[in-house]
Homo-oligomer: A and B are copies of this chain.
Amino acid sequence: MTYTPLRELSPYRFFSPEMTIRNLAFELYQQVENLPIVSPHGHVDPSIFCDPKTKFTTPVDLLIFPDDDITRMLYSLGIPLETMGISPLDNGTYEKDHRKIWQTFCDNYRYFTVSSPGFCLTYELDKTFDIQENIDHENAQRIYDQIAEKLRSPEYSPQALFRRFNLEVLCTTDAATDNLDGHRQIQSANSGLRILPTFRADGVIQLDDPQWLNQVEQLSAVTGERIADYPAFIRAIEKQRLLFRSMGATAVDCSTLTPYTQELTPLEANSIFQRALKGETTPEDAVRFSGHLLMEMARMSLEDGLVMQLHCGSWRNYDREIFVRFGKDMGCDIPIQTEFCRNLQPLLNKYGKDPHFTLILFTLDESTYSRELAPLAGFYPAVKLGPPWWYLNYPDGMARYFDQVMGIAGWYKTIGFVDDSQGLCSIPARHDIWRRASANWTAGLVARHQISMEAARGLMDELAVGLSRRVYRL
């Protein structure tokens, strides 16, 4: 098959070809195209910003390694993870030559064309590296050289890219047990970059994680709190949240398989906690404790003002063998059916009516958009709906989100965009797709005479930066 992806990025990319919508969308997009980027949640490693002299070493380090969406798609084509430079935990062999990894990537680039990572990559190559050629088997090494050369210049250091991408603020995701030395270093370096930590609660919440005891020890170490019982555990978490807040954090992130919530009595909570300390956790313990801790996180958010994010419905490390051989985040996290209504009732009944509390819900199960999430956000003052997340974060997925959520919850109960990027370069790529998808949707409302162009302009600003700035208190 001769298969040649697009040569260059059109200014009308992702817009309906219908001229009324296209022209309106283009106008609305231009209004927000160059607005600063607010990135309230993502997974870029903050350490790359500590030293202005840090550089990305190769195109593979920059574009491939941080993006497990690329890894999983190549793997799905039958290319072993080792071939993509991923080292097995058992010290097995793997490809260390970045030029060979890049070649494999380019040999298979045509399979990415009509997919979420493909849309991002095309943008990154064009806008960040000024490469309009289609990468393929033939030009792989030449393109590698072009990118590698750029990476050696100071204009392509992480700090320089941060500025060039016009990032107003970048929130990273940091373990609950982090001492935030990295963030402290960034802030004391006075680089002028606004990079804030986010408290990721999972490690200390999930009793059935083999690392849990270890996490509790680290939590104890970092807080100086001797964690011998449940009240001390809670005190330590509260203390760490305050540390995060003092370092600029405005949000907390919880990621659980289901959004199950249930309040335990202090006695029950402590019994389960004691069993866990002794390594005697039962599966039921883990579920109930996680459900209780979500309630506790909500209570703490009401007290310390940190926004609570809930990312549910991903079965992490679905393939046991991949997990054992390579560890986590290898692209084998599969969404499952998610039930929000019954699961969140205890939490929402207790805390959802308080407008001072903010709970942002993310889903990988689109059937919940109109059925549960939009109605919940359409009633509870505390509830807001996160934008399309992970697998759903691509143009068609965004169109479905607008279609299914907005008419029920109202735009004001959404939160703008969250890029959730792992790689620095994909941040502007993803925001550009969102801004284009937003412009296209908003233009459609105007073209169908549902709102005025004046209203559309206001809505565009909100979707691009206004809502996320306000909801995340940035």
Contacts and interface: CB of A to CB of B under 8 A. Distances in A.
Interface of A: 1-7, 9-10, 12-18, 20-21, 72-73, 75-78, 110-116, 118-119, 315, 318-322, 331-337, 339, 341-342, 345, 348-349, 352-353, 355, 364-367, 370-372, 374-381, 383, 391-392, 394-397, 399-400, 403-404, 406-413, 444-445, 447-452, 454-455, 457-459, 461-462, 466
Contacts of A336: 339, 341-342, 371-372
A14 B455 contact: no
Contacts of A409: 76, 115
B115 A448 contact: no
Contacts of A113: 411, 451, 455, 459
A13 B449 CA distance: 5
Given A6-B452, A14-B448, A395-B407, A379 B331 contact: yes
A310 to B, nearest CB: 16
A352 B349 CA distance: 40
Contact of A2 (B331, B366, B450, B458): B458
B76 A377 contact: yes
Q: How many copies does the complex hold?
A: 3
Contacts of A372: 334-336
A103 B411 CA distance: 21
A381 B77 contact: yes
Contacts of A119: 407, 450
A410 B341 contact: no
Nearest to A364: B371
Contacts of A412: 77, 111
Nearest to A7: B452
Interface centre among A3, A331, A394, A411 (most CB of B within 10 A): A3
A31 B16 CA distance: 24
